[in-house]
Amino acid sequence: TDGFKMDFFRGMSYDEIFPIFQARFDANMRFLLKLREEMEEKDQGILKSINETPAQKLAKRRKLNKDTQEIEDLKK
């Protein structure tokens, strides 16, 4: 694993070495699964926006414009 020299493992049994590698493996798997979930969420958002009808897009744009106008009015 990262930062370990072979001399570190000399004289150790499999039962002593295994938890070191298992912990690192588990951390890597958690990271990869998290990335996969984030990518799937992003893909779902993209697909949702692609499948929107022009009327839905127009309504969304009008709502955003209205919200930004209200925020600008509050700043004044």
Residue 70 is assigned to a structural domain of this protein:
yes
pLDDT above 90: residue 45: no
| Distance, CA of 42 to CA of 32 (rounded, Å) | 15
Residue 32 lies in a domain: yes
Number of domains comprising the chain: 1
In-domain check, residue 69 = yes
Q: State the pLDDT at residue 6.
A: 86
In a domain, 1, yes or no: no
pTM of this structure: 0.47
Taking CA atoms, 60 is separated from 17, 24, 49, 68, in Å, by 56, 45, 11, 12
Give me the pLDDT at residue 2, please: 62
The CA-atom distances, in angstroms, between 34 and each of 15, 28, 29, 38, 43 are 29, 10, 8, 6, 14
Report, as an integer, the average pLDDT of 27-50: 90
Flag whether 30 is in a domain.
yes
pLDDT confidence of residue 26: 94
Range of the domain at 14: 6-75
Q: What is the mean pLDDT of residues 3-12?
A: 85
Average pLDDT over residues 17-43: 92
